[in-house]
Amino acid sequence: SGDFGQPVEAAGPRSGDPNLLLGVAASPGLGIGTVVQIRHDDIAVEEFAEDHHKEQRKLNSAIDRALLDLSALQRRLEQDADAEKAAIFGAHQEILADPDLLDLAKSAIDKGKSAPFAWRGAVDTYAQRLAGLSNEVLAGRAADVRDVGHRVLEELTGQRSQRPELPQDCILIAEDLTPSDTAQLDRSKVVGFATTNGGASSHVAIIARSLDIPAVAGIEGRALAIPDGAQVVLDGTAGSLRTNMSESEIEQIRDRQRRQAERKAADDARKDEPAVTTDGHRVAVVANIGGIDDAREAMTKGAEGVGLLRSEFVFLSRASAPSETEQAQVYAECARALHPGQPLVIRTLDVGGDKPLPYLPLPAEENPFLGMRGVRVGLERPEVLRTQCRAILAAADAGAKLHVMFPMIATLDDWRAAKAIFDEERARTGAAGEVSVGIMMEVPSVAVMARQFAAEEGCDFFSVGTNDLTSYALAMDRGHPKLAAQVDPCNPAVLTLIKNAADALHEHGKWLGVCGGIASDPQAVPILVGLGVDELSCSIPAIPTVKARVRAYSLQDCRDLADRAVRCGTPAEVRALVGDDND
């Protein structure tokens, strides 16, 4: 969008109806409002400049001005007690201090390029490196890099993107929304948004779900031609946008909205009750979290524990690796935020690709998605993994039931090597606390060989990362502008892999969790339960609804749905089995 990267028409769904635009369900809910188109204008820049000292000074001064703006934004959001959004602008300040990014720009200026041209090239290169990473935290950083890059470019050139004044009840449409756009969304005015880029697991979708705003990603390109002020209906659950609706049609939608709001209130009222099917089968519903504040918030939404703690947050935004003591304190604090005895599943550091961490230099890779990532980095740099294992063991008596899982396991050798490191540290520290060990199932080989993995002694569980599992099973990058819309975890191939894992684990008396985006998808919940999933780990706002979905079915209904789902041909057929029975 804008200066960094070219727009591409996504190969998503198409409707033959001029008044119906299809995309991908990115965040559930209905929004009725008037369109505001958000455009990130291209900024014209000259390629060459005479005086490279002067250009470097211009760039430094633009970066300083951007840093002042960002720290003011961060303070304002902190005063509004919005720590999560404030952190976005904290991250932007860190990006502007990143020596790799600054060196890229400096070397281009030294070769005679103008400051704006050099900066734009540096941002583009750096963002592409990050976007290739499959770790959701770091790939999200690519959007931040482009975003803060644009801010500096505006400072350098004096060309500002116009931010329109938002009317009440508006629906934003854009090629892409930057993290700044989403962090500054006025929740009292914005009732939904749609982007032509991205898919169900893109950065924008993750933000929309955390803000609880209906959103559609990968929508047909003609959405960008809808005039400002037109009234539209956005359905984030179905992934569609309707234009030119009659008053009576809109009234029907408002009825649906009211019913949804009533149901949401009913779900919230029962959020602290367990999720038990009509015939008495209990499913654990837990939260995906990225920090201590999330752990506390999850408890207020009825979470029965944590099924995925993304431990990267302990490692990001610092010049040196966190010590064992620092890490143990953070893990123990997360554990203490939970109710005693609840599970806390910690995923070990999941980084890779091109130098995301200054103290963990990794060579740049042609294809980081298939390169050194996750546990592969841990096995190559075992001191980082060993320290993390010791820290987790040290937090084992903080009240929660601790589990550790290794990301990106592809072979039995990977698993045995990682498990050996954990066992050695357990023996060396003499840790008495009980910590169970498992595998993040995101590489298809683990699902295909589930029986062999399930038979391994000391492998207690799998947790399915459906975002990556879907990408690897379909050989599609979920950030790819033309393919993102097709990366749907309800693909029967992916469901079959999940079923295979559930069957194998249950034969050995072990359990299966799902922590990918599909666990928060109300349509997918009964199918996952029917496939044999024991634990659903969701985004925090989704917890009450996911629990309610489990209660709406019998286990037998779920199994029948799952049997039919794995025999379907397409994700659309799978979703049609469940229908939109949320109305």
- Model confidence over 155-195: pLDDT tens digits? 999 888 777 889 999 999 999 888 788 877 888 999 999 99
Tell me what pLDDT residue 509 has: 98
Entry pTM: 0.79
Domains along the chain? 20-41+163-248 (3.50.30.10), 52-157 (1.10.274.10), 456-578 (3.20.20.60)
| pLDDT of 398 higher than 50 | yes
Looking at the predicted structure, is the pLDDT value of residue 129 above 90?
no
In degrees and rounded to multiples of 5, residue 35 shows phi and psi of -75, 135
φ, ψ at 431 (rounded to 5°):
-65, 130
Q: Please state the rounded mean pLDDT for residues 544-550.
A: 98
Q: What was the pLDDT predicted at 135?
A: 66
Helix (H) or strand (E) holding 437: strand 435-441
Count other C-beta atoms under 10 Å from residue 184's C-beta. Answer: 15
The pLDDT confidence band at residue 11, using thresholds 50, 70 and 90, is: low
Q: What is the pLDDT of residues 265-287, one digit of tens each?
A: 999 999 999 999 999 999 999 99
Is the model's pLDDT at 5 over the cut of 80?
A: no
Confidence of residue 130 (pLDDT cuts 50, 70, 90): confident
pLDDT above 90 covers what percent of the chain?
Answer: 69
Query: What are the residues facing 30 on neighbouring strands?
Result: 235
User: Is the pLDDT at 344 greater than 60, yes or no?
Assistant: yes
Instruction: From the candidates 170, 490, 515, 558, give the one annotated as an active-site residue.
Output: 515
Annotation marks residue 170 as catalytic: no
Could you tell me whether strands 401-406 and 435-441 are parallel, antiparallel, or unpaired per DSSP bridges? parallel
Q: Please state, in angstroms and rounded to a whole number, the distance separating the CA atoms of residues 483 and 198.
A: 9
Q: Band the pLDDT of 201: cuts 50, 70, 90.
A: low
Q: Residue 369 — very low, low, confident or very high, per pLDDT cuts 50/70/90?
A: confident
Residue 137 has pLDDT above 70, yes or no: no
Helix (H, G, I), strand (E, B) or coil at 524: coil
| Residue 139 DSSP one-character state | H
* Residue 254 CA: distances (Å) to CA of 192, 212, 215, 542: 15, 18, 17, 22
Query: Which of these is catalytic: 40, 52, 203, 403?
Result: 203
pLDDT tens, residue by residue, 78-124 = 777 666 677 788 889 989 998 989 999 999 999 999 999 999 999 99
Q: Is the pLDDT of residue 8 over 70?
A: no
**Which residues neighbour 96 within 8 Å (Cβ) at sequence distance 6 or greater?**
63, 66, 67, 70, 148, 152
For residue 581, the model assigns a pLDDT of 57
Classify burial at 421, counting beta carbons within 10 Å of its beta carbon; exposed 0-12, middle 13-18, buried 19 or more: buried
Residue 514 has pLDDT above 70, yes or no: yes
